[in-house]
Amino acid sequence: MSVETSTLLDGLNVDLAHEYQAIVMYNTYAAAVTGIHRKELQAFFLEEVADEFEHAKFLADKITALGGTPVTSPAEVRFTTDPREMLESVVKAESETVDRYVYRMKQAQEYGDYGLASTLDAMIADETRHKEESEKLLRGQWG
């Protein structure tokens, strides 16, 4: 069964909305984090923004290349000022992103866009690292 262009575009737009969410989440958490671990967590959150922006840029370009229109709004961001809850939100978001990208990579392969599939594979590795680093911070400070 072949994946339709519209199906792939719809999925890529979901992914793009979640990359926008990640940018907003990390930037907001960096600004809002308080307490003894503020400097460490602020630096961690801000470091992630650049990766998420590159992912968003790639997805918007790819959507346009496939003839679609990129979404302009992020998925909902859960706001909190609690550092533990911030990291838990990050782990959840990154886990969901990995799952979406694995599915999207399979769609891209079925569609025949192996360049997209390859880039998604690299993005899966990035998101997995983000998730694992967040899990380590949770274990080290709040575990």
Q: Tell me which fold the domain 5-142 belongs to.
A: Ferritin (1.20.1260)
Q: Which two tokens stand for residue 101?
A: 């990208």
Q: Please give the pLDDT value at position 140.
A: 78
Q: Residue 23: which residues within 8 A CB-CB, separation 6 or more? A: 49, 52, 53, 56, 74
How far is the C-alpha of 129 from the C-alpha of 57, rounded, in Å?
Answer: 19
Per-domain boundaries in the chain: 5-142
Instruction: Tell me the C-alpha distance between 70 and 90, whole Å.
Output: 24
DSSP string, 73-84: SPPP------HH
Amino acid 106: pLDDT: 98
In this predicted structure, what is the pLDDT of residue 2? 79
Q: Which of these, 52, 42, 37, 39, lies nearest to 123 by C-alpha position?
A: 52
pTM for the structure as a whole: 0.94
Tens of each residue's pLDDT in the chain, 143 residues: 578 999 999 999 999 999 999 999 999 999 999 999 999 999 999 999 999 999 999 999 999 999 999 999 999 999 999 999 999 999 999 999 999 999 999 999 999 999 999 999 999 999 999 999 999 999 976 55
Quote the pLDDT of residue 128: 97
